[in-house]
Each structure stands twice: as C-alpha cells, then as structure tokens.
Amino acid sequence: MKQTFLTILAFAALTLAKAQNPAPAKPQERAIALTGATIHVGNGQVIQNGTIVFDKGIITAVGNGDTPTAGAEVISVTGKHIYPGLISPASLVGLQEVSAVRSTVDSREIGVLNPNVRALIAYNTDSEVIPTIRNNGILLTQAMPLGGTVSGCSSIMQTDGWNWEDAVLKKDDGMWLNWPGYFARSFSMEDFSVSLRKNENRSKAIDALQATFADAKAYAAIKNPEPMNLKLEAMRGLFTGAANLYIRADFGKDIIEAVKFAKSFGIPKVVIVGGEEAHRAVDFLKENNVPVILSALHRLPNRQDEDVDLPYRMPGILQKAGVLVALSYSDEWWRSRNLAFLAGTAVGFGLGDREEALKMITSNTARILGIDKQVGTLEKGKHATLFVSKGDALDMRTNVVEHAFIQGRHVNLDDKHKRLYNIYREKYNQPMQGK
C-alpha cells in the first residue's frame, strides 16, 4: 500500500513539474548579434539583410550586413524576420486565468469609484496564458482593471519575470474610466444575443463623476495634503500629464461627450478605448488630438445597417484621417495572442501598408502608453525587446516565433499549447493498443 502511494505521489509530482511554465530568462551576459534577417524597425523602415546588436539589454547597433559584430555572440537568422516586441494594450492577461473560476479572476474590486485600485500588484507572472501570447511575439502587455465607473490604474508589464516587481516596465501609467453612455448592453444567455437598453443611471453616474473629478482637481493643487486621501492622490497624475485617462466608450456621441468631460477638467492626456463607432467622431478625435485603442476587429458591426466589414476597415479609416491608432483585444485576454493578425486584417481592408499596420501594435501603442523612449521600435539605445519570426508576423500561416528577447534576455518559448500538441502527437503516432 505504501509503495503504491509513493508511486502515485511520484507520478503526480512529475506531472505537475511538466505542467509548470518555463523559468524566467536570466539577464543577458554577453553581447548578441542577430544577422542576415529582414529587420522591421517599427517606424515604417525595413532593412534587408540586416544586423542588430544588443548588450546588457540595450540595442547598440542596427544596420545592414556591414554592421560590426566583433565580440558578440553571432546568431544567424538569415531569411527570417526581426520585429519589435508586440504590445498588447487594454488587457486582462495576468489578471484573469479562467473566467468561470472565481479564484483565478483578480481584475476588479467592489465599488463604483476606485481610482486607488492598482492592477500592478494583482499581475500573476505564473499565468499559463502569458507564455502562449509570448509565443506569438507579444512581449509587453498593459494590465488594466475592470469594474465600476472609475476602475483604477493600469501598468505596463513584460511577459517574462518571477513576479510583478520583475515584470513591470511602467507603473500606474493611467486611470480607467467607464463612460456612462446613453445605452447599456444586455446579454441573453438563452440565444447569446446582445441588445441595447436605455441607461437609466446615466445622469446619476455623471453627477458622481463630476463631483469626484472636481475634488481630485482641487486636491491636486495642494502640494502636501494632510491627511492624504488615497483615492484623490491616485488621480493626481491625470492633471499633471504624468498619467493617461483611458476612457472606455464605443458610440460616437459617447466618445465626444467623454472627451469633452475630460477636457473640462484640464486633463491633457485622454485615450479612447474600444471606439467601435470611432468613425462617427473621427474629425472630433483628430481636432482634439485624441488617440484610439480599438477593440477586437474580428466582430460584427454595432448596427444592422452598417457594412459587415466596417470593423475590419476601422483602423484604415482612422489612420487616414490622422488619428493615432493602436489595436487590442480588450478584455478577451485569451485571444490576445492573435493581436498580430488583427493588424494583418487591417492591411487587407483598406490600410494597405504592412509597416503601417505593424506600427499599430508596436510604435503607435508605445507612444500612446508613454513608453516610446524605451520600446516600440528597433533603434539604438532602446530596450532589446524583440523577436525573430520564420516569416511575416502579421500572417498566421507564417508567424512562427523562433527567438524572443526581453531586455536582452533570451526567453524560453515553451508553453502549455506546445506541450499538449507534443503529447497528443506522440499519442496518435503510436499503434492502437489491443488491436
């Protein structure tokens, strides 16, 4: 009996060990040079037969085949493609594992006005979702809070690290506001349909926001408040420009009213998130220099009389109007691994230029999030956060990531999907038992 128990225990331990995520990469120990690839810089520039060199996590040279590589470990990636690490904004990765299991969901707090809530400290680096998105080139993610009217603060995280302290790139980059629109969505579990209803609580919610932001602006004018108010202290950066105000709004009229609300309090950095009908407010967004983080393009339009491909064309419509655009999967955390393919879709529906589409998941996103001095493009002096793909990263048929580096650390690309694939490939390659 004892022997049987020990055998079961050993098997369980082996199974758990195999299911664990790979250990985070060690710091870069020596200079590395990637040679022979097509380098997509992320600013529209493409370098054929290029070389990129980085040391101690920082890019030291980017150029053609004549770029010096002396003293560096040379990795030939001839015929491959090098891209900046993709950035997934407005994401629940690391905050939510299995939506049906409450103990794995840590994306919201109880209450309506929670500006002091920080997604940062809830970010779970042991999430099994993180390696799956890293395998498609997503090396940075914005962990955002949900819930209430003012949800709290987001932070920019790297998709490799032992804990949130290791993974964080930028703490508390912005505050999240769910704008109380004229209409609210209702979801039916019977036929899985979505319907609109009048938002009866809209006026009350806006009055509460007016009072909260007025208090926060007055509080921000005080240098050393005593006693400190944690909720209002968390909003201080909105008025100094140190933090963005991310406003979730989809309908055209809601977008305009939300931006006007923010401007009335002198908030300099406003970002619209979602923007499903941003095309109806495109001139207003351009005039007020408001960027947009679009939600998933792979969806149906809001209205029955709209073209079925309107969501696919939205990036091109906004980009051609001069609006700064980034792409996201919003709260669909498990699908965010397909972020690059949203950009690929935009290319086929009006955007045209692949390098412009790449900007929407690299340099544009970095500019919006305020991290463009560190990441977003492959330029000397920036972080060596990049990946090597066998082919075009925007095409799901050829996006095969072979190497990934985060601040120069060579990241392990194992994940649960690959482990399951190998297990079942082995199973079905074996002869049938008992036949």
User: What's the pLDDT tens digit per position in 184-242?
Assistant: 766 666 665 666 777 778 889 999 999 999 999 999 999 889 899 999 999 999 999 99
Superfamily of domain 18-85+376-435: Urease, subunit C, domain 1 (2.30.40.10)
Q: Which two tokens stand for residue 387?
A: 């990946």
Nearest to 212 by CA among 146, 251, 265, 159: 265
Query: What per-residue confidence (pLDDT) applies to 190?
Result: 67
Gap between the Cα atoms of 373 and 379, Å rounded? 10
Spell out the residues 6+ positions from residue 185 whose beta carbon is closer than 8 angstroms to its own. Answer: 194, 195, 196
Query: What per-residue confidence (pLDDT) applies to 434?
Result: 53
User: What's the pLDDT tens digit per position in 244-260?
Assistant: 999 999 999 999 999 99
Nearest to 137 by CA among 343, 318, 295: 343
**CA trace torsion 244, 248, 254, 256 (10° rounding):** 20
In this predicted structure, the answer to whether residue 131 has a pLDDT above a threshold of 50 is yes
Query: What per-residue confidence (pLDDT) applies to 22?
Result: 83
Q: Is the pTM of this model over 0.75?
A: yes
In CATH, what number does 86-373 get? 3.20.20.140
Q: Which two tokens stand for residue 85?
A: 């690490």
Residue 387: half-sphere exposure toward Cβ, Cα within 13 Å: 27
Query: What per-residue confidence (pLDDT) applies to 426?
Result: 87
Gap between the Cα atoms of 178 and 364, Å rounded? 23
DSSP bridge pairs for 158:
140
Residue 402, SS3 per DSSP? strand
Residues of the chain with CATH 2.30.40.10: 18-85+376-435
Residue type, 8: I
Decide if 54 contacts 97 (C-beta within 8 A): no
| Phi/psi-derived region of residue 208, left when phi > 0, alpha when psi is between -120 and 50, beta in every other case | alpha
Decide if 30 contacts 384 (C-beta within 8 A): no
Gap between the Cα atoms of 160 and 164, Å rounded? 9
Gap between the Cα atoms of 33 and 92, Å rounded? 34
Strand bridging mode 58-63 / 46-55? antiparallel
Residues recorded for the chain: 435
Q: Which two tokens stand for residue 420?
A: 């399951």
In this predicted structure, the answer to whether residue 3 has a pLDDT above a threshold of 60 is no
In this predicted structure, the answer to whether residue 279 has a pLDDT above a threshold of 90 is yes
Residue 263, SS3 per DSSP? helix
pLDDT band at 100 (very low <50, low <70, confident <90, very high): confident
Residue 62: half-sphere exposure toward Cβ, Cα within 13 Å: 23
The mean per-residue pLDDT over the stretch 98-121 comes to: 91
Question: Greater confidence, 253 or 434?
Answer: 253
Gap between the Cα atoms of 247 and 241, Å rounded? 15
User: What's the pLDDT tens digit per position in 305-363?
Assistant: 889 999 999 999 999 999 999 999 877 778 889 999 999 999 999 998 999 999 999 99
Rounded to an integer, what is the distance from CA 323 to the centroid of its chain?
A: 19
Residues of the chain with CATH 3.20.20.140: 86-373
